[in-house]
Amino acid sequence: MERADHADQADHADDARTAGIVVAIDGPSGSGKSSAARGTARRLGLRYLDTGAMYRAMTWWMMRAGTPVDDADEVAARSGEPDLQVGTDPDLPTITVDGIDVSGPIRSREVTNAVSAVSAVPAVRHRLVALQRELIGDGGIVVEGRDIGTTVAPDATVKVYLTAHEQERARRRAAEGLGGAKVEVTLTQQELALRDKKDSTRTASPLNQAPDAVVLDTTALNLNQVIERICALADERAGMPGRR
Ligand code: DC
Domain ranges of the chain: 9-236
239 is in an annotated binding site: no
Q: DSSP letters of 87-143?
A: E--TTS-EEEETTEE-TTGGGSHHHHHHHHHHHT-HHHHHHHHHHHHHHHTT--EEE
Instruction: Give me the residues paired with residue 202 across strands.
Output: none
Integer angstrom CA distances of residue 20 from 87, 131, 138, 160: 18, 18, 6, 17
* CATH T-level topology, domain 9-236: Rossmann fold (3.40.50)
How many angstroms separate the alpha carbon of residue 16 from the centre of ligand 1?
Answer: 31
Assess whether the C-beta atom of 199 lies below 6 angstroms from ligand 1. Answer: yes
- Ordered per-residue pLDDT tens for the chain, 244 residues: 344 444 445 555 556 556 799 999 999 888 889 999 999 999 999 999 999 999 999 999 999 999 999 999 999 999 999 999 999 999 999 999 999 999 999 999 999 999 999 999 999 999 999 999 999 999 999 999 999 999 999 999 999 999 988 777 777 767 765 444 455 556 677 777 787 778 777 777 677 788 999 999 999 999 999 999 999 999 998 875 444 4
Assess whether the C-beta atom of 103 lies below 6 angstroms from ligand 1. Answer: no
For residue 162, give the H/E element and its range.
strand 158-163
Ligand 1 mutation target, pool 26, 55, 62, most atoms within 8 A of CB: 55
> In this predicted structure, what is the pLDDT of residue 24?
97
> In this predicted structure, what is the pLDDT of residue 200?
77
Contacts within 8 Å (CB) and 24+ apart, 196-202 = 196/28, 196/29, 198/116, 198/117, 198/120, 199/28, 199/116, 199/119, 199/146, 200/28, 202/116, 202/119, 202/120
How many angstroms separate the alpha carbon of residue 26 from the centre of ligand 1?
Answer: 10
CA pair distance 124, 140, nearest whole angstrom: 25
Contact by Cβ (8 Å): 51, 119: no
> In this predicted structure, what is the pLDDT of residue 243?
44
Assess whether the C-beta atom of 116 lies below 6 angstroms from ligand 1. Answer: yes
How many angstroms separate the alpha carbon of residue 57 from the centre of ligand 1?
Answer: 11
Contact by Cβ (8 Å): 156, 23: yes
> In this predicted structure, what is the pLDDT of residue 5?
45
Assess whether the C-beta atom of 112 lies below 6 angstroms from ligand 1. Answer: no
> In this predicted structure, what is the pLDDT of residue 87?
98
pTM: 0.86
Contact by Cβ (8 Å): 183, 176: yes
How many angstroms separate the alpha carbon of residue 204 from the centre of ligand 1?
Answer: 13
Q: Atom 18 of ligand 1 has which residue's CA nearest to it?
A: 145
Integer angstrom CA distances of residue 57 from 98, 211, 225, 232: 10, 30, 31, 33
